[in-house]
Chains A and B, each alone.
Chain A
Amino acid sequence: MAQLGFHWPSLVIYLVNFLILLGILYVMGYKPILRMLDQRSEKIKESLEEADRVRRESAKAQEEMQQRLEEAHQEGQRLLEEARQAAERYREEERKRARQEAAAFLERARGEIRKERDSAIEEVRGQFADLAILAAERVIERSLDKAAHREIIDKVLEESSKLERN
């Protein structure tokens, strides 16, 4: 063994040296580096998950927005339709009312005219009676010859028609 170089103190020195190296590397090398590696992989995993979450959320938000937009669109369409219907209804009502009013006005005008006519006729009739009486008075005053008679009546009628025309 000595020929090969075996030497107790050297062996012990190597053993101690190796153990010291192991200790130093464990405390100063492996532990911090492995911890760092773990931290890094943890961090990467976290950020990947975070990115995934954000992407999913944004997709959801977009979908929601799309849906809300759709809803708003439908709502607007509905409101427009309603307004159109209301306008139509209003117009219809207005038209009906105008027609009714016109009818009422016509009716009233007709009544008025009738009344006017009636009163006119009444008046004419009254005047006619007066004329008749007048004519009768004339007739009585004069002689009642046939030709004169006719002349008087014609005159009266002419007068009355003149009156009526007024």
Chain B
Amino acid sequence: MRSQVRGRRLLLLAGIAVIALFLAGLVTGAIGNAFFGGEGEAGGLLPKPEVRLPAEPVFQSAESEGGHEGGGSSSLPAGKFLLTNTILSSWIATLVIVLLFVLATRRLSLVPRGIQNFMEAVVVALLGFVEGMAGKERARRFFPVIATIFLFVVVNAWLGLLPIYPSLGFLKEGHIERHLLRPAGTDLNMPLALALVSFIFVEYWGFRTLKGHYVGKFVRLGNLIPRPGRGWNPLQGLIDLFVGGLEALSELVRIVSFTFRLFGNMTAGEILLLVATFLVPFVFVIPFYGLEILVGFVQALIFAGLTLAFVTMAVMPHEEEGHGSH
């Protein structure tokens, strides 16, 4: 009874502290600043967040630094190798994933313990996900790419939520000019690379499984060439040709939709957190962090799940020219 009372009192104190922090955030943030006669347009505890879409270079050669200053920070110098903050954080994510697996598989035992148990649960869950859509016999072949896409996206998204991400950077005139780390999903190139991997993966398995039939889905010449016993239908042939083109186009459009779905979600999340923190520095942003954890997971699931759905569709044998025969 006594400890229950004490626990309740502790909870009450914590609640009061959180509310006080929230009020302090209201007062010191941009909102409070605007209310209580702040000086200038960018006020509050934090500087006004600058939203820049391209990734910022972390290390670069002296000459490109010069060019960078002159040309403005909106775009990267094309054609020069440089390390951007998003690439750096993607390497960290890669390292984290590899480390998890290395720790889990270092001493594999038939009776799992600790991290092996955890990673096995992850693998089993992903394998079940793949098996559910692609069937048991194909699951083992699709699994590595699907699982890697999922893990890469989700770890990148979640690592980006760590507080060191927005707080580490290169200072210039009192505020951070370039961040050292930035969630890789906010760099267009990362979703694009994943989308290309997904595209190549889908087309590779489609072609490998169905061979010529797979090409026949996009290049439909069946009705253009006159054949005995079938009759010649040039109009149907032209329609088929157009439909084939549409099919091919839809495959290509997937790259774009994949890219911008992930890129948009990750960037929006980053901006949402920045702005929320800017408006009210404390407490207020916590629900948004919860939201972003969910969004990161969901986006990873969508990216992996759509790739899986597309590859399952691609290896499904379709009836070629089925409409003409009946």
List the interface of chain A (C-beta within 8 A of B).
Answer: 2-11, 13-15, 17-22, 24-26, 28-30, 32-34, 36-37, 39-40, 43
- Output the least CB separation between B290 and chain A (Å): 28
Q: Rank and list the top 6 A-B pairs by shortest CB-CB distance, nearest first.
A: A5-B54, A14-B193, A29-B101, A10-B189, A2-B75, A11-B189
Choose from A5, A25, A28 the contact partner of B187 (Cβ within 8 Å): A5
CB of B262 within 8 Å of the partner chain: no
A25 pairs with B97, CB closer than 8 A: yes
Choose from B76, B102, B110, B145 the contact partner of A7 (Cβ within 8 Å): B76
Chain A to chain B contacts (Cβ below 8 Å), 6 pairs: A7-B54, A17-B90, A26-B144, A30-B143, A34-B143, A37-B127
Q: Interface residue tally of chain B, by bracket?
A: 35 or more
Contacts of A18 in B (CB 8 A): 148, 152, 193-194, 197
In the complex where A30-B143, A30-B147 touch, is A17 in contact with B91 (Cβ < 8 A)? yes
Choose from B74, B124, B152, B263 the contact partner of A21 (Cβ within 8 Å): B152
Mostly, the A contact residues are helix
Contacts of A14 in B (CB 8 A): 87, 90, 184, 189-190, 192-194
CB of B196 within 8 Å of the partner chain: yes
Complex formed: what's the CA distance from A9 to B123 in Å? 32
In the complex where A10-B55, A14-B90, A29-B119 touch, is A22 in contact with B144 (Cβ < 8 A)? yes
In the complex where A9-B79, A10-B87 touch, is A24 in contact with B98 (Cβ < 8 A)? yes
Complex formed: what's the CA distance from A142 to B101 in Å? 165
Contacts of A28 in B (CB 8 A): 98, 101-102, 105
A25 pairs with B101, CB closer than 8 A: yes
Complex formed: what's the CA distance from A6 to B256 in Å? 13
Complex formed: what's the CA distance from A143 to B140 in Å? 163
